C-alpha cells in the first residue's frame, strides 16, 4: 500500500510550540552562519601593514608612537614590526645594515603599506630604496623638517615632529627674568645635535647666549648638569643614546646641587626636569595609522600633505622645583600635570 507523503507544514503544526520554536531558531542560526561565511569570503584577508621603527621597544618615544599606531590599526590591518635599534646600534654601517634587513623583509613579506617612525628609517630606508616607488610609505617622527630627504615623494607622505621650543624658551626666559645664558644638555647623537640647532635659533632670537653639551655616558651627563648651575637656565634634551643610564642614580646625583630652572620637550625626561612642554608621541602613531588606512582605501599618498604635530602637554616636577626654591606662577601650576 502506498503511504501518502506527510505534509511538512502539518507535521510542524502538530509539534509543541517549544519544539517548533527550537527548529525555527536553528534554521535562522544556520542562515546567519552561511551569511557570515559568505561575507568573510567576500571581504578576503586583511591588508598587510609593516611598521619600521628607527629605535627599539622600551624607548619611551617609540613605545608611544607604537601604541598610537596599533590602537588605530587594530582589527583593520595585519601588523608586523621591525625595529632598527639605532639608538643602541649607532655606527653608520650598523644603521645601513638594519635598513637592508628592513628592505629584505619588505621584499619577502610584500606589505600593502609601510609606516616608518623617526629619522633613520627615512634617511636609510625610504630615501635610498623607495623614492617614487609603487609601494606607499607613511612616515612620522621626522624631526623639524623633511628638506634633507626631499619629501614628499609620489609614494610618500607623513607627519614631522616639532617641539614647542619657541614657547618653551620664551617661558623659561620670563620665569628666570634677565636671563642671558642657557645650556642645552643631550645625548651625543645626530638627533640631539639636530634638536640643539633648532633650539639655538629660538634662544638666540630671545637674545640668549646658547651653548650645548652632548654626553656619551651617565657621568658626563651629570657633569654637564652640574656645570649648568652656572647658567641662567638649562634645557634638557633626550638621554636616548646614553647606554649606561640609570634613572635612580641620576636623580639621586643631581638632587643635592639642583638650583637652576630646567625645561624639556620630552616627557620621559621629567624625572630630571622641572617644567615640561612636551610632544605627544601617540599623536604621531595615530595620525600615521589613519593615513595608512586612507591609502589602503585607494587615496594617493601624494594627495595627502605633510603636516606637523599639533598636540602638547604641560608637566611639572614639584620635587625639583621645591629643591631649587623656585616659585612658579599660578597660570603654570594650575594647568600643568604633576609629574609623576
156-208 confidence digits (pLDDT tens): 999 999 888 898 999 999 999 889 999 999 999 988 999 999 999 999 999 99
Q: How many domains does the chain have?
A: 2
Quickly state the pLDDT bin for 7 (edges 50, 70, 90): very low
Do 81 and 156 belong to one domain? yes
Do 53 and 130 belong to one domain? yes
Assign 3-class secondary structure to the chain: CCCCCCCHHHHHHHCCHHHHHHHHHHHHHHHHHHHHHHHHHHHCCCCEEEEEECCCCCCHHHHHHHHHHHHHHCCCCEEEEEECCCCCCCCHHHHHHHHHHHHHHHHHHCCCEEEEECHHHHHHHHHHHCCCCCCCEEEEEEECCCHHHCCCECCEEEEEECCCHHHHHHHHHHHHCCCCEEEEEEECCHHHHHHHHHHHHHHHHCCCEEEEEEECCHHHHHHHHHHHHHCCEEEECCCCCCCCCCHHHHHHHHHHHCCCEEEECCHHHHHHCCEEEEECHHHHHHHHHHHHHHHHCCCCHHHCCCEECCCEEEEECHHHHHHCCCCCCHHHHCCCEECC
Minimum mean pLDDT among 12-16, 65-69, 178-182, 206-210: which range? 12-16
Place of cell 651627563: 221
Do 120 and 131 belong to one domain? yes
Mean pLDDT, the chain, integer: 88
Do 176 and 229 belong to one domain? yes
pLDDT of residue 40: 43
CATH of the domain at 154: 3.40.50.2300
Residue 13 has pLDDT above 90, yes or no: no
Do 90 and 154 belong to one domain? yes
Do 155 and 293 belong to one domain? yes
Query: Domain containing 154: what range?
Result: 48-162+280-310
Residue 235 lies in a domain: yes
Residue 39 lies in a domain: no
Residue 38 has pLDDT above 70, yes or no: no
Residue 14 lies in a domain: no
Residues of the chain above pLDDT 70, percent: 87
Residue 61 lies in a domain: yes
Rounded distance, CA 119 to CA 192, Å? 12
Residue 201 lies in a domain: yes
Do 137 and 88 belong to one domain? yes
Residue 306 lies in a domain: yes
Q: Which set of grid coordinates corresponds to residue 75?
A: 582589527
Do 237 and 148 belong to one domain? no
Among 264, 296, 327, where does a domain finish? 264
Residue 36 has pLDDT above 90, yes or no: no
Residue 108 lies in a domain: yes
pLDDT of residue 9: 43
Over residues 28-51, mean pLDDT: 62
pLDDT of residue 309: 93
Place of cell 621650543: 165
Place of cell 500500500: 1
Do 192 and 173 belong to one domain? yes
Minimum mean pLDDT among 21-25, 178-182, 226-230, 270-274: which range? 21-25
Residue 41 lies in a domain: no
Do 289 and 156 belong to one domain? yes
pTM: 0.74
pLDDT of residue 43: 57
Rounded distance, CA 182 to CA 213, Å? 11
Place of cell 527550537: 22
Rounded distance, CA 186 to CA 172, Å? 18
Amino acid at each position: 500500500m502506498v503511504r501518502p507523503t506527510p505534509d511538512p507544514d502539518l507535521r510542524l503544526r502538530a509539534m509543541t510550540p517549544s519544539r517548533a520554536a527550537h527548529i525555527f531558531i536553528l534554521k535562522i542560526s544556520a542562515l546567519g552562519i552561511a551569511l557570515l561565511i559568505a561575507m568573510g569570503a567576500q571581504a578576503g584577508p586583511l591588508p598587510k601593514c609593516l611598521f619600521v621603527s628607527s629605535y627599539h621597544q622600551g624607548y619611551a618615544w617609540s613605545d608611544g608612537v607604537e601604541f598610537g599606531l596599533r590602537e588605530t590599526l587594530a582589527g583593520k590591518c595585519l601588523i608586523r614590526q621591525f625595529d632598527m635599534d639605532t639608538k643602541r646600534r649607532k655606527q653608520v654601517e650598523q644603521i645601513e645594515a638594519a635598513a637592508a634587513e628592513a628592505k629584505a623583509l619588505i621584499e619577502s613579506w610584500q606589505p600593502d603599506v609601510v609606516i616608518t617612525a623617526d629619522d633613520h628609517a627615512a634617511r636609510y630606508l625610504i630615501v635610498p630604496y623607495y623614492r617614487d616607488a609603487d609601494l606607499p610609505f607613511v612616515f612620522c617622527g621626522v624631526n623639524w623638517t623633511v628638506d634633507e630627504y626631499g619629501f614628499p615623494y609620489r609614494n610618500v607622505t607623513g607627519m614631522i615632529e616639532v617641539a614647542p621650543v619657541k614657547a618653551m624658551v620664551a617661558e623659561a626666559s620670563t620665569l628666570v627674568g634677565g636671563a642671558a645664558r642657557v645650556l642645552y644638555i643631550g645625548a651625543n647623537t645626530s638627533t640631539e645635535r639636530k634638536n640643539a640647532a633648532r633650539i639655538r635659533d629660538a634662544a638666540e632670537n630671545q637674545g640668549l647666549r646658547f651653548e650645548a653639551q652632548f654626553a656619551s655616558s651617565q657621568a658626563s651627563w651629570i657633569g654637564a648638569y652640574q656645570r649648568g648651575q652656572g647658567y641662567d637656565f638649562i634645557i634638557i634634551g633626550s638621554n636616548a643614546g646614553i647606554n649606561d643610564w640609570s634613572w635612580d642614580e641620576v636623580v639621586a646625583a643631581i638632587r643635592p646641587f639642583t638650583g637652576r630652572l630646567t625645561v624639556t620637550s620630552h616627557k620621559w625626561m621629567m624625572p630630571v626636569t622641572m617644567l615640561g612642554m612636551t610632544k605627544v608621541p601617540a599623536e604621531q602613531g595615530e595620525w600615521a595609522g589613519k593615513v595608512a588606512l586612507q591609502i589602503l582605501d585607494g587615496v594617493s599618498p601624494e594627495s595627502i600633505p605633510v603636516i606637523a604635530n599639533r598636540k602638547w602637554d604641560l608637566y611639572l616636577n614639584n620635587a625639583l622645583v621645591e629643591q631649587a626654591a623656585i616659585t612658579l606662577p599660578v597660570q603654570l601650576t594650575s594647568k600643568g600635570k604633576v609629574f609623576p
